Amino acid sequence: MPATPSEASAADAQEAIVEELGFFDDWSDRYRYLIDLGRKLPPFRDEWCTDAHRIDGCQSQVWMHYEMTGDVLDIRATSDAAIVSGLIALLIRVYSLRPPEEILATHPEFVERTGLKGYLSPTRSNGLASMLSAVFAAAKAV
């Protein structure tokens, strides 16, 4: 049985992320916070580090694994890049362990509301978009 999400809904998770990132005065502090979040990702099995789990469109290596557990989609992911791992942690916080219907109904507003969109390099922005597409595709497929 998977753990329970920290927040009751994806919308609540987004609000918490906006609030937390708002505590920092500059983007170097926000990047450090993202890196710290990435270090705390749940374990990712070695057997999931395959081409079938790899996310295309990311400059760094990113792998995602999805599985339905009861009525929620459990999302696991990892990356070889520290900041990308932090982005993964944010995505997991918002979307993992939620019903597919909630995932599909939740636009990633936190990306714009935190200013994150403007501070990511073009390649990281593309990678984030690819990871979001993969999450939504997994939610549609179940």
Spell out the CATH class of 10-141: alpha beta
Global model pTM greater than 0.85 = yes
pLDDT tens, position by position, for the chain (142 residues)? 456 788 999 999 999 999 999 999 999 999 999 999 999 998 899 999 999 999 998 889 999 999 999 999 999 999 999 999 999 999 999 999 999 999 999 999 999 999 998 898 889 999 999 999 999 999 999 8
User: Among 37, 55, 58, 77, which one carries the catalytic annotation?
Assistant: 58
CA-CA-CA-CA torsion sign (67, 137, 13, 36): positive
Q: CA 46, CA 91: separation in Å to the nearest integer?
A: 21
Q: Let me know if 58 is a catalytic residue.
A: yes
Phi, psi (rounded to 5 degrees) for 105: -90, 0
